[in-house]
Amino acid sequence: MHDGFAMDTDRAASPEPVFAFTPEVEAETAPLWRRLKSHITPLEWRAHAPLIAKINRLKRQKGAVILAHNYMTPDIFHGVGDYVGDSLGLAREAARCDAKIIVQAGVHFMAETSKVLCPEKTVLIPDLLAGCSLASSITAADVRLIKQRHPGLPVVTYVNTTADVKAETDVCCTSANAVQVVEHVAREWGVDRVILIPDEFLARNVARQTHIGVIAWKGRCEVHERFTGQDILDLRAAYPQAEILAHPECPTEVIELSHFTGSTAAMNDYVLTRKPRQVVLITECSMADNVAVDAVETEFVRPCNLCPHMKRISLRNIYEALLHDRYEVTVEADVIVRARAAVQRMIDMPPPSTPARYDLVKARHHVDVELI
C-alpha cells in the first residue's frame, strides 16, 4: 500500500499492474462518478477511478496541467483534463498557463504547438505515435515549393501540421477561425488569393464562406474524409427530427447535407445553447460522448469514426507520462522562433465572438479553389 492506493492482489501477477478501487479512491472520485455514471459502466469505473485519483494527485505534486482535446475519451476529458476544448482553445491555454509541465492529451502536433508557444516548459505526450494524417500529408520542403510556385501570396497553415511546416508559414489557423484568418491576411497583404494548407476539404469549405480565392493541398483527415453524402441522406431518412452537425474537415457534400458545420468547440456550443431534441455529430466518436455528459436534454444518435491517433492516449499512459516525465516533446530552437511567429499571429487575433459557424447561406457564390 502507498499513497492510499493498494495494488490489486488477485491481479498482482499481471504484467500491467492495476491500482485497486479502494474505499479512499471511491470517496475521492465520488463527485466525478455522480456526473459520469450514466456514461461509464460501474465495472469500467472500478478500473478508471484509481488512475484518475492517482493522476490528479501527481499533477498537483508536480505542478503539471493536462490539456485535453475534445476527442479524448470521457474518463480522460472529464476525469483528468484541466483545460479541455478544441485545437484553438488548447493553444490559447498553453500560451496562458503558468504550469511547469504540460501533458498534452491529444496528438503530437498539438504537443508541438504547446512547446512552440512555451519553450521553457516541459511538454509531455503520453504516446509519441499519436500522429495525424493531415500533419503527415505535407513537409516543410513541400511548403517551400508551393511558395516558389505562388510568390507573393500569404501561406495560412492549419495547426494540424508539424512545427517544421509551421515554421514556413505566415499565419496559422484552426477550424474555429480559418475564415477569419484567411480574410484578415488577405486584407493585410492586399491580395485576393491565399494559400491554405494542408486540408483540402477545410480549404474548400472555407472558400465557400469568403470571396478570397484559395490555393489548397490534397491533405485529408482520415477520420472525417470517410463520411459520405449518402451517410447523411440515410441519417436524415432514419432520424427526420435530428439536427446534423458536421466538422469542416468533412467532404463538401457532407457539409451541404448537414444542418450546421463548425469546429468541435462550435458543435459543443450549438448543442449546449440550442438544446436540440435529437442530434448527430459527424465527427470523432468521443466528441458526442463528452458533450452528452452536460447535454442532458438532448438525445444523441452516434454514427462516428474513431481517430486511431487520438485513441492512443489513455489514463494508463497519461499516468506513466507524469510519473516518468515522458515522452518529452522537443523542437529545434530556430524552428521554434519561426513557427511561434505564425502561431502567435493567430493567437493575437481577437477571439471570434462565437466559435466559427460555416454558414451555408454564404456559400452561394462562385468558389475559387486551386488544388496543388
Q: Which residues bind ligand SF4 (CB under 6 A)?
A: 107, 132-134, 160, 221-223, 249, 284, 307, 309-310
Q: Which stretch binds ligand 13P (CB under 6 A): 142-150, 173-181, 211-219, 232-240?
A: 173-181
Q: Is 162 in the site for ligand 13P (CB under 6 A)?
A: no
Distance CA 182, CA 178 (A): 6
Name which of 264 and 298 has its Cβ closer to ligand 13P: 264
Give residues with Cβ within 8 angstroms of 56, minimum separation 6: 80
Q: Is 170 in the site for ligand 13P (CB under 6 A)?
A: no
- Terminal CA-CA length for the chain: 60
Name which of 134 and 244 has its Cβ closer to ligand SF4: 134
DSSP line for 324-357 = HT-PBP---HHHHHHHHHHHHHHHHSPPPSS--B
Name which of 22 and 139 has its Cβ closer to ligand SF4: 139
Name which of 118 and 310 has its Cβ closer to ligand SF4: 310
Q: Which does 174 bind (CB under 5 to 8 A by kind): ligand 13P, ligand SF4, none?
A: ligand 13P
73, 133, 157, 160: which one binds ligand 13P (CB under 6 A): 160
Give how far the C-alpha of residue 258 lies from the chain's centroid of Cα atoms, to the nearest Å: 21
Q: Rounded to the nearest whole angstrom, what is the least distance from the CB of residue 218 to ligand 13P in the complex?
A: 17
Distance CA 90, CA 103 (A): 11
Size of the site for ligand 13P (CB under 6 A): 12
Q: Which does 175 bind (CB under 5 to 8 A by kind): ligand SF4, ligand 13P, none?
A: ligand 13P
Q: Which does 87 bind (CB under 5 to 8 A by kind): ligand 13P, ligand SF4, none?
A: ligand 13P
∠ CA 73-75-79, nearest 5°, is 125
Q: Which of residues 253-282 bind ligand 13P (CB under 6 A)?
A: 263-264
CB neighbours (10 Å) of residue 228?
14
Distance CA 174, CA 224 (A): 15
Distance CA 264, CA 248 (A): 9
Which residues contribute to the site for ligand 13P (CB under 6 A)?
A: 70, 86-88, 160, 174-176, 221, 249, 263-264
